[in-house]
């Protein structure tokens, strides 16, 4: 079980309302008890990364047994660009350093799935990173190394710290990182890895489906009758947002668009959605 949610909006004050509106899709499903522990849910971890007043911030809980309420977690978050991640580990134990989203400088990243035979290619992946990126890897997950692998290609292209990285440069870095993982996996005769990821620098969001389900929705306004618009002295701007959800998705309504495996979605600051093959 896992869940990955990316959110970009034109307002900073309505994340919890948007999560409530999309609750049929994003609400975490009950976890399955492990073998021999009937009635005891599997522990999970959760993390939330967001941009606020020019800063990149985190809220994380590495281990949780019980029910996760995304709306409660997000209630005090004021941001128009957010990543949320529910983690049931396949690589790496429960600790803050292994909890998504991962951050380097202005970049945030979260991933679901597993790089196959990771232990056999981990050393090669690390060796492909510049030394300063190797030092920035704090945990033991395949996901964090994948994140830095994408950033290493951005660094090679001179766009790691660009104020507004070009879309084609970032998509090329994602493709190059995935291609390198595939090549290394093939060398050790591992099957194709599942790589569902979301990457952002706060202005543009990149979501890749490779494996499990992924879908997105474009919304104009809040349509649930039980969600009120907060009081304002001036007429508030109508909320617009794009939400991307991966992995254990719930019931997709007619407005949701499913991605094909190998498809990359880019959401820009104007909330326009571009779809590419990857």
Q: How far is it, in rounded angstroms, from Cα 111 to Cα 121?
A: 18
More confident residue, 212 or 170: 170
Assigned token pair, 62: 């590495």
Give pLDDT tens digits for 248-266: 776 788 899 999 999 999 9
Give pLDDT tens digits for 133-162: 999 999 989 999 999 999 999 999 999 999
pLDDT score of 63? 66
Which residues, at least 6 apart from 102, have a Cβ–Cβ distance to it below 8 Å? 108, 109, 110, 139, 143, 144, 147
Per-residue confidence at 32, pLDDT binned at 50, 70, 90?
very low
Which residues, at least 6 apart from 211, have a Cβ–Cβ distance to it below 8 Å? 113, 193, 194, 195, 196, 261
> Model's pTM, two decimal places?
0.91
Per-residue confidence at 40, pLDDT binned at 50, 70, 90?
low
Worst-scoring range by mean pLDDT, 17-31, 67-81, 123-137, 180-194?
17-31
Other CB atoms within a 10 A radius of the CB of residue 176 amount to 17
If you average pLDDT over residues 219-234, what whole number do you get? 77
More confident residue, 194 or 31: 194
pLDDT score of 4? 93
> Cα 204 to chain center, whole Å?
13
Per-residue confidence at 35, pLDDT binned at 50, 70, 90?
very low
235-265: burial string, b at 16+ Cβ within 10 Å, e else: eeeebbbbbbbbbbbeeeeeebeebeeebbb
Q: How far is it, in rounded angstroms, from Cα 185 to Cα 174?
A: 17
Choose among 27, 14, 8, 16: nearest CA to 72.
16
Q: What percent of the chain lies above the pLDDT cut of 90?
A: 65
pLDDT score of 223? 83
More confident residue, 100 or 7: 7
Where does residue 142 fall: left (phi above 0), alpha (psi -120 to 50 degrees), or beta otherwise?
Answer: alpha
Give pLDDT tens digits for 89-132: 555 456 677 888 999 999 999 999 889 999 999 999 999 999 99
Which residues, at least 6 apart from 86, have a Cβ–Cβ distance to it below 8 Å? 1, 2, 3, 4, 28, 44, 45, 46, 68
pLDDT score of 33? 45
Worst-scoring range by mean pLDDT, 3-12, 58-67, 183-192?
58-67
Q: How far is it, in rounded angstroms, from Cα 96 to Cα 6?
A: 20
If you average pLDDT over residues 207-227, what whole number do you get? 89
If you average pLDDT over residues 8-37, what whole number do you get? 79
pLDDT score of 52? 95
Which residues, at least 6 apart from 168, have a Cβ–Cβ distance to it below 8 Å? none
User: How high is the mean pLDDT of the chain?
Assistant: 88
């Amino acid at each position: 079980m896992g869940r990955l949610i990316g959110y970009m909006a034109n307002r900073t004050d309505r994340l919890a309302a948007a999560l409530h509106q999309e609750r049929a899709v994003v609400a975490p499903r009950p976890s399955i008890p492990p073998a021999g522990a009937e009635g005891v849910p599997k522990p999970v971890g959760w993390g939330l990364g967001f941009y606020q007043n020019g800063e990149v911030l985190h809220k994380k809980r590495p281990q949780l047994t019980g029910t996760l309420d995304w709306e409660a977690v997000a209630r005090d978050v004021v941001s128009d660009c957010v990543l949320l991640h529910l983690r049931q580990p396949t690589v790496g134990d429960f600790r803050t350093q292994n909890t998504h989203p991962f951050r380097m400088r202005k970049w945030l990243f979260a991933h679901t799935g597993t790089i196959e035979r990771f232990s056999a290619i981990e050393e090669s992946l690390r060796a492909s990173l510049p030394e300063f990126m190797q030092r920035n890897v704090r945990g033991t997950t395949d996901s964090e190394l994948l994140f830095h692998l994408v950033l290493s290609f951005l660094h090679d292209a001179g766009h790691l710290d660009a104020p507004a990285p070009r879309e084609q440069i970032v998509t090329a870095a994602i493709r190059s990182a995935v291609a390198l993982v595939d090549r290394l996996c093939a060398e050790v005769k591992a099957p194709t890895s599942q790589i569902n990821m979301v990457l952002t620098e706060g202005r543009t969001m990149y979501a890749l489906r490779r494996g499990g389900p992924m879908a997105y929705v474009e919304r104009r306004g809040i349509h649930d009758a039980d969600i009120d618009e907060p009081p304002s002295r001036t007429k508030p701007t109508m909320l617009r947002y794009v939400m991307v959800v991966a992995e254990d998705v719930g019931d997709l309504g007619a407005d949701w668009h499913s991605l094909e495996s190998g498809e990359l979605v880019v959401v820009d600051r104007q909330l326009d959605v571009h779809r590419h093959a990857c």
